[in-house]
C-alpha cells in the first residue's frame, strides 16, 4: 500500500488474511456464503488499511529497525532470526492494483519472496483481469492456482449478484 504522504514516501504491507476473511472464504467453499461473514471480513480489512495509511502497519517499521541495526553493525537482534518473523515477512502471494478507472489496465511485477507469486489484479467493465508472475518451475502449480482463482471468482460473483 502506498503511504507516500509520509516524508520520503514508502509502502506498507496490508495483510489480507484474517480470521474474518478465512471465515468468509469457508462459507463460500461450503457453498453457504454469508453476508455477515463478508461484512466482518470487510470491516477488518478496512481497519487494516486505515492502520497502514496512518503509519501503524508493522512490516515497514520492523524493516526500518532491521536496516538501522544492520547499518550500526554487529549481530542482528534475535527477533529477525525468529521463525515467526520469517513467516510474517514472507509473501507467497504479493498483490497489487492501481484501482479502477485507470489508464494502466495491466502490469506485472516479480514475486517479492522466493517461490512466491506476483499478482496484479484489475477490475474492468468486462470482468477481472489478472497477471501472475512466477518462475518456470512453478508453472504446474500456477495453473492450478489460476484455475482455482477462476472458480473462486465465479462463486464470489454469483454470491454478490444474488
Q: pLDDT value at position 72? A: 94
Beta-carbon contacts of 149 under 8 Å, excluding residues fewer than 6 positions away, are: 130
Domain residue ranges in the chain: 91-162
Q: Write the CA distances from 90 to 113, 148, 150, integer angstroms.
A: 6, 22, 25
* Cβ pair 40, 20 in contact under 8 A: yes
Residue 12 or 1, more confident: 12
Q: For residue range 7-64, what is the model confidence (pLDDT) as tens digits?
A: 777 778 888 889 999 999 999 998 899 999 999 999 999 999 999 888 888 888 899 8
Confidence of residue 68 (pLDDT cuts 50, 70, 90): very high
Q: For residue range 99-129, what is the model confidence (pLDDT) as tens digits?
A: 766 677 778 888 888 999 999 988 888 878 8
Amino acid at each position: 500500500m502506498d503511504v507516500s504522504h509520509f516524508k520520503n514516501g514508502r509502502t506498507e504491507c496490508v495483510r489480507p488474511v484474517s480470521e474474518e476473511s478465512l471465515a468468509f472464504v469457508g462459507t463460500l467453499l461450503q457453498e453457504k456464503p454469508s453476508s455477515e461473514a463478508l461484512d466482518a471480513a470487510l470491516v477488518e480489512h478496512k481497519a487494516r488499511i486505515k492502520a497502514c495509511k496512518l503509519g501503524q502497519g508493522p512490516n515497514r517499521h520492523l524493516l526500518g529497525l532491521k536496516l538501522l541495526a544492520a547499518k550500526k553493525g554487529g549481530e542482528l537482534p534475535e527477533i529477525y532470526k525468529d521463525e515467526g518473523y520469517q513467516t510474517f515477512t514472507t509473501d507467497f502471494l504479493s498483490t497489487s492494483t492501481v484501482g479502477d478507472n485507470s489508464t494502466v489496465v495491466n502490469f506485472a511485477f516479480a514475486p517479492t519472496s522466493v517461490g512466491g507469486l506476483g499478482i496484479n489484479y484489475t477490475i474492468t467493465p468486462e470482468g477481472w483481469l489478472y497477471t501472475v508472475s512466477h518462475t518456470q518451475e512453478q508453472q504446474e502449480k500456477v495453473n492450478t492456482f489460476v484455475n482455482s482463482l477462476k472458480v473462486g471468482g465465479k462463486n464470489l460473483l454469483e454470491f454478490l449478484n444474488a
